[in-house]
Amino acid sequence: MKHIFLILALTFTFAGNAFGECSESDKKALEALDHAGGEAAAKGDRNALMAMLADDYTSLPSMQNKTQSIEATMATFERDKANPGMANKVTYDNYMITCTPNSAVIMHRNILTTKSGAGDKEQTVWSRTVHVLEKRGGKWQMVTDAGNRLDEYATLRYMEMDWNNADVNRDLSWFEQNYAADYSGISSRTAKIQTKAEEIAGFKDDKNRTESAELSEMNIRIDGNTAVVTGVNHVKGRDEKNQPFDYRVRFTDTFIKRDGRWLVWATQGTRIP
């Protein structure tokens, strides 16, 4: 699966070059259309689904046609309506969109929160979906799609990306949810060892503001319920005096899998001269 994910990413990178870049307004419109499709499925809106799927639509790898796909969606809606406590929750992010005036490819991550049985803890499952659309009669319609659950390597890679986004967006909830209770971190600036509570408190008080963070040279190793990720993080932003900073950190992040999900267990970074 790791190799499949990388091949898909490369494929659509080259496709973007072939198609030419979409304008930002085109991308936003297509992303909004994709969200509308997800909402129609969640609400059991058969008419909206009929309008969005092309008559020759085929879903991969199940090979369901338009009618079969809509009936399966409606069956899921009725099941969730009868037992809302067990209904899956899905959100979509990390969009990659390419298009021409009459064709488009939309690729995104799906974050599925599910329960496997009464009283079970919620489980989070990540997957990635590719939609292919064509403009017919002046209206976008989906002609095919395909999706796969992400393997552990892709999941950890996404966690690193989400970690950076949480830093940029000052999203404290990410750290609260994704740091293990017995987390420890070694600061690349002060070399101090901090607990989860200490690091979150320090983040709240920190006057520095990260404006961008870019990962490179990532290597992921997994052994059972433990994983080690190494790489380089290029961080830019402004300090408490509004002076720009720009530095790179070589990091080692250790993750542990508990209750079916990966958590940040320890981290250490060293600034690159």
Q: Across all residues in the chain, what is the average pLDDT?
A: 89
Q: Which of 53-67, 98-112, 113-127, 236-250 has the lowest mean pLDDT?
A: 113-127
At 97-108, the pLDDT tens digits run 999 999 999 999
What's the rounded mean pLDDT across residues 39-45? 94
Q: Determine the pLDDT at residue 119.
A: 55
Domains 2-149 and 170-271 belong to one CATH topology: yes
Which tens digits make up the pLDDT trace of 67-93?
999 999 999 999 989 888 888 889 999
Domain boundaries, the chain: 2-149, 170-271
DSSP character at residue 267 = E
| Residue 260 or residue 166, greater confidence | 166
Please report the pLDDT score of residue 3 as a whole number: 43
Residue 205's pLDDT is what? Answer: 87
Q: Which residue has the higher pLDDT, 124 or 266?
A: 266
CATH (one of 3.40.50.720, 3.40.50.2000, 3.10.450.50, 3.30.420.40) for 2-149: 3.10.450.50
- Looking at the chain, the whole-number percentage of residues with pLDDT higher than 70 is 90
Predicted confidence at residue 116, as pLDDT, reads: 63
246 has pLDDT over 70:
yes
Helices 152-169, 2-19: axis angle to 10 degrees equals 60
Checking if the pLDDT of 224 tops 90, the result is: yes
The answer on pLDDT for 41 being more than 50 is yes
- Region 170-271: CATH code: 3.10.450.50
Distance between CA 148 and CA 151 in Å, rounded?
Answer: 9
Share of the chain above pLDDT 90, in %: 74
Place of tokens 């064509």: 134
Q: How far is CA 91 from CA 1, 29, 110, 172, 244, in A?
A: 22, 18, 6, 19, 35
pLDDT band at residue 21 using 50, 70 and 90 as cut-offs: low
The pLDDT value recorded for residue 152 is 95
The pLDDT of residue 260 is 83
Has residue 123 got a pLDDT over 60?
yes
3-state class of 158 per DSSP? helix
Q: pLDDT confidence of 15, banded at 50, 70, 90?
A: very low
Question: From the centroid of its chain, how far is CA 17?
Answer: 23
Please report which confidence band the pLDDT of residue 22 belongs to, taking 50, 70 and 90 as the band edges: confident
pLDDT given for residue 83 in this prediction: 87
User: Residue 123: in which H helix or E strand, if any?
Assistant: strand 123-136
